[in-house]
Structure 1
């Protein structure tokens, strides 16, 4: 047999089919670094929680509901902005939490300002649903300790607030207000710790990160870019 003859001749490529070459060497992913929006988000939680908690504890008069509503309304705007930036930073957990927080503040502000019939009961159901949602988020946010601690306090705060809205028991208002001040303290600590960390480039106050959350801050660029091709906005579908 002639050595120049091909024992296995190549089959012609079927008509209409086109095999693309390996595009990995031609692919470029542009990263757009942004500052962390989480200190702003946590500070907004703290400020709104102090205002609402003070109302529930009786620090304001009975006619202060509309003033409180107007005061917590900016928290909706700020946390909605934080949510948008967090989605851009590919932190879906923080983005989702901040967006739901912003919606809750908006609803609370409108109910306090307008005082519609049945508003307290509807707000109670909203707070109860948010407490359940925060509990689910806390179950998967353990490695992001700053966010996890805020959620651990937010769950009982909104649960007790829901019971107060649904039952009208005055003592529940005081318990909810106390939890609100505790939530403000935890959120303020988390915001300040993250801000110091960003300014100095290292952890100053303990936050307790572990797992991927720790690697995201302490790891090198290789760790940061791991599995980037599978991230939302890079992969073909969500």
Structure 2
């Protein structure tokens, strides 16, 4: 009777052990899910245009409640994107979309209900979100589409926070201009990712690097690298 020895483990200098080739032991199950990121970025773009137009005073002084109702769907859309991104094992995209979703919901509620001190509280929220976006940008540099959106989101939400906290009138149009810039970058990222998903190749440049590039252009061996340490495979998160 012939027996086949299992592949021997190989040790790295750091002491980690892993199988030298997992391809023969791997089964791939395809899930009917498309990339949710174009929807997420389109939602960022549309909501940013509406809020930016209000801050640029293009919609009139009494447009607050209408703006709130208009950006409210962005909360739901980005929440759905976040759930799908978690299912696709993309923690950066899922975290970003979830936090964007909560920010749009809070902004919509404050604009619609106009509670006491709501503007200042919204300023604190925007300031915290700007800091969060800065932290995200430091780890998302290989995902250039997301990184570009974050790089514009940081000054946009920082200026919006200062506008809400200080009430300086000149900061409103500046925040609105950054909002339109954020919308443009997010729209480009959404369109580029959508074309890439439809044609299975990069059409518009988005500057993928490292693992983000390997995820699209790498072979199966690259995709299985460090598989044993992925969430759902290892014993604890």
Q: Same fold (TM over 0.5)?
A: yes
Equivalent residue runs for 1:191-202 within 5 Å: 191-202=190-201
Q: CA deviation at 1:199?
A: 0.8
For 2:236, the equivalent position in structure 1 comes to: 237
**In 2, Cα distance between equivalents of 1:133 and 1:99:** 12
**In 1, Cα distance between equivalents of 2:105 and 2:232:** 29
Q: Deviations over 1:24-67 (max 9, x none)?
A: 99886745352110000000000000000000000111111000
For 2:11, the equivalent position in structure 1 comes to: none
Q: Deviations over 1:148-171 (max 9, x none)?
A: 000000000000000000001111
Q: Deviations over 1:92-133 (max 9, x none)?
A: 001000000000000000000000000000000000000000
Equivalent residue runs for 1:119-138 within 5 Å: 119-138=118-137
Equivalent residue runs for 1:69-88 within 5 Å: 69-88=68-87
For 2:169, the equivalent position in structure 1 comes to: 170
For 1:212, the equivalent position in structure 2 comes to: 211
For 1:94, the equivalent position in structure 2 comes to: 93
Q: TM-score, normalised by structure 2?
A: 0.87
Matched, 1:115 2:114: yes
Aligned pair count reads 215
The structure number with the bigger radius of gyration is 1
For 1:13, the equivalent position in structure 2 comes to: none
For 2:147, the equivalent position in structure 1 comes to: 148
Q: CA deviation at 1:229?
A: 2.2
For 2:18, the equivalent position in structure 1 comes to: none
User: Which runs of 5 or more residues in structure 1 are unaligned?
Assistant: 1-23
**In 1, Cα distance between equivalents of 2:206 and 2:32:** 22
- From the superposition, tell whether residues 31 and 236 of structure 1 become closer, same or farther in structure 2 (CA, over 3 Å): farther
Q: TM-score, normalised by structure 1?
A: 0.87
Aligned Cα root-mean-square deviation (Å): 1.5
**In 2, Cα distance between equivalents of 1:26 and 1:192:** 37
Equivalent residue runs for 1:36-55 within 5 Å: 36-55=35-54
**In 2, Cα distance between equivalents of 1:72 and 1:120:** 17
**In 1, Cα distance between equivalents of 2:101 and 2:173:** 23
For 1:58, the equivalent position in structure 2 comes to: 57
For 2:220, the equivalent position in structure 1 comes to: 221
- From the superposition, tell whether residues 223 and 26 of structure 1 become closer, same or farther in structure 2 (CA, over 3 Å): closer
